[in-house]
Structure 1
Amino acid sequence: MTIFVVDDSTVLRSIVKTALASFDYDEIIEAKDGEDAWEKIKTMQKKIDLFILDINMPKLNGLQLLERIRAEDKKTPVIILTTESDKDKMIEAKKLGATGWIIKPFDKGKLIQIVDMLIKK
């Protein structure tokens, strides 16, 4: 299993990697913003099994990246991370095809629970 984590915070990417250590994954790929992620996605040969995207990032935000991902891939689960309880952005993410979201700061157990649920589908 390959997980792609996109967030402009190095600390948050590290927290997500630590939280997911209990899963049997082959690789966690990281990107510092949506543009960096999109460049990696376009050239990647392997299948991504789960995306974890921050909404608020420079260059290309999480919603814009989600829209690009869904244009190419309708099935892979996408979890959205946000520091906001902004209902409009969450509704937009759902319309664009997000399969789950977590409001930061989050409990590692909550992330594990959501990831576990999505990868078992």
Structure 2
Amino acid sequence: MSHPRNQPYPAHLLDFSILVVEDCATTNKIIHKLLLADSFSNISSVSSGEEAIELLNGMEILPDIILSDWSMGNVDGLQLLEFVRNMTPHCIFIMVTVQDCPEAIMLAKAHHVDGYIVKPVTRRKLIDEIELTVSRLSIEHD
């Protein structure tokens, strides 16, 4: 399955569709609320990598952005990232994690993660990383 759009990103940031993949219910709810507070409206949430894969397999139009925890049960964030990259290169994948060491960041970059947020997630961290990543990738695409 591939991303159906000729242009990989919507013209306006708030038109982006977002999938939140987070196994901690509290953090999942916080991210969802922070996105809503900044006027994002097309938001889906799941609580595991397995649920994300199941959801993505059933979608005709893939989300523009995936915000994923790294450390989850059977399917972790890196495995989900690999699955997503095999589906489309146009989905922005931002890792949300407690892993703040240089080795973890380098590993994520080696797997072609687009953005990286260290928990705890705040409104500023979340929105800044989304804006920065979208801006950088839009420039690279042009």
Task: Give the TM-score of the pair, scaled to structure 1.
Answer: 0.89
Runs of 4+ in 1 over 4 A off after TM superposition: none
* 2:54 aligned residue (36, 39, 62): 39
Counterpart selection for 2:77 from 54, 58, 62: 62
Find the partner of 2:39 among 23, 32, 45. 23
Q: Specify every segment of 5 or more residues in structure 2 that has no aligned partner in the other structure, as ranges.
A: 1-15
- Which of 67, 85, 103 is equivalent to 2:100? 85
In structure 2, what is the Cα distance between the partners aligned to 1:63 and 1:87?
A: 16
CA–CA separation in structure 1 for the residues paired with 2:69 and 2:44: 14
Structure ID, larger Rg = 2
Give, in angstroms, the shift of residue 16 of structure 1. 0.7
Q: Quick check: 1:79–1:100 contact (8 Å CA) kept in 2?
A: yes
Query: RMSD over aligned Cα, in angstroms?
Result: 1.5
Asked if structure 1 preserves the Cα contact closer than 8 Å seen for 2:98 and 2:120, the reply is yes
Residue correspondences, number: 120
Q: Per-residue displacement from partner, 1:63-87 (whole Å, max 9, x unpaired)?
A: 1110111111112211101112233
- Output the TM-score relative to the length of structure 2: 0.77
The answer on 1:12 being equivalent to 2:18 is no
